[in-house]
Amino acid sequence: PATAQGGGAPPAGDDVIVLGEVGALTGGQATFGISTRNGIALAVKEANAAGGVKGKKLVVRVYDDQSKPEEAAQAVTRLITQDKVVLILGEVASSSSLAMAEKAQAAGVPMITPSSTNPSVTEKGENIFRVCFIDPFQGFVMAKFARENLKLNKVAVLQDNKSAYSIGLTEVFRQKFAELGGKITATESYSQGDTDYRAQLTAIKKTQPEGIYVPGYYSEVGIIARQARELGLKVPLMGGDGWDSEKLFELGGSAIEGSYFSNHYSPDNPDERVKKFIADYKADNNGAVPDALAALGYDAARVAIEALKKAPDTSGPAVRAAIAQTKDFPGVAGNITLDAKRNAVKSAVVLKVQDGKSTYVTTISP
Ligand code: PHE
């Protein structure tokens, strides 16, 4: 079962407002959940230092879903029935957010996913929000970059058929790349957790692509990169936000160098607001540089806190209505205005893997 974490948060009482959080603190997506956790913790610490909300301190009840959608759904049920949270923050992986959104929507408890990009997540209903862009845009970004910047004509795709995120991004990329005059030479699949991708990569190699789009998560992508190079596939790899983890460089080593991925944020951003966030985050996290998950976790929590302040009370309908009104909110991963479909419309950055880290290349706007 999902395990509770978060330093023994006190139960709901008159003096506190309890927020729920569900994340992958262990398993194949652990860096996603940990970074998000740290970003949310910083936002809550700042809000409490500034007096809390409605004269009460905020506490966060956190559950580890072990990178599994079933566990994420169970955790939401607990947050709602046992912990009586006023709203829920999470998840990162779209498949987990989809499982959670179902429950949160049915119970009328608002949920904000910091970073799930699959369009279906917020389509679960009026209580479900996100503070990031969606995959029809993200897929377009890399298709455009592949065609116009890298000047690629022929690209193969390798998707994770266990991830709603990967399946959705594959569909959009294939369509946009073709619309821009490119050719998709092959589409191969793997299942999250696989360790041998040689059969798919061999099939891809036969079609002689000039690049390979791998819209998966870092745990698998790092190994895929190594096996691709071992098989003599030297073309650039391209991916999406799911690559964003320190672990990608560890797993991929030199094989991932020279690859590109789209993301929500770059720590190279010289904006004062971003610089302050990076400094504060580093101070709380042993010098770690915040990744996009940390930035979006921080932004999602701040949007939630702002809504709790504005709402007349902390009931589901009141908080939901306040979140829906989010407009020009100054996030560290871009300004946030929620549209009628409860999604944020924002630019994306393209990053290049270079010298064991990701380096800013360009920004692409909707
Ligand atoms: N967008 C991914 C998904 O929906 C999650 C993700 C976001 C991963 C940002 C890394 C960085 O599954």
Going residue by residue through the chain, which has 366 residues, state the pLDDT in tens, using 9 for 90 and above.
Answer: 455 554 444 555 679 999 999 999 999 999 999 999 999 999 999 999 999 999 999 999 999 999 999 999 999 999 999 999 999 999 999 999 999 999 999 999 999 999 999 999 999 999 999 999 999 999 999 999 999 999 999 999 999 999 999 999 999 999 999 999 999 999 999 999 999 999 999 999 999 999 999 999 999 999 999 999 999 999 999 999 999 999 999 999 999 999 999 999 999 999 999 999 999 999 999 999 999 999 999 999 999 999 999 999 999 999 999 999 999 999 999 999 999 999 999 999 999 999 999 999 999 999
> ipTM greater than 0.90, yes or no?
yes
Q: Which of 117, 247, 343 to mutate to test the pocket of ligand 1 (most atoms within 8 A of CB)?
A: 117
For ligand 1, atom 4, name the residue with the nearest CA.
116
Cβ 160 under 6 angstroms from ligand 1: no
Is 168 in contact with 198 (CB distance < 8 Å)? no
Give the type of residue at 359: T
3-state SS assignment for residue 216: coil
For ligand 1, atom 11, name the residue with the nearest CA.
241
Q: Where are the alpha helices (DSSP H) in the chain?
A: 30-49, 69-81, 94-107, 120-123, 135-144, 164-179, 198-206, 218-230, 246-252, 272-284, 292-310, 316-324
> What spacing in Å lies between the alpha carbon of 330 and ligand 1's midpoint?
21
Give the atom of ligand 1 at the shortest distance from the alpha carbon of 135. 1
Cβ 265 under 6 angstroms from ligand 1: no
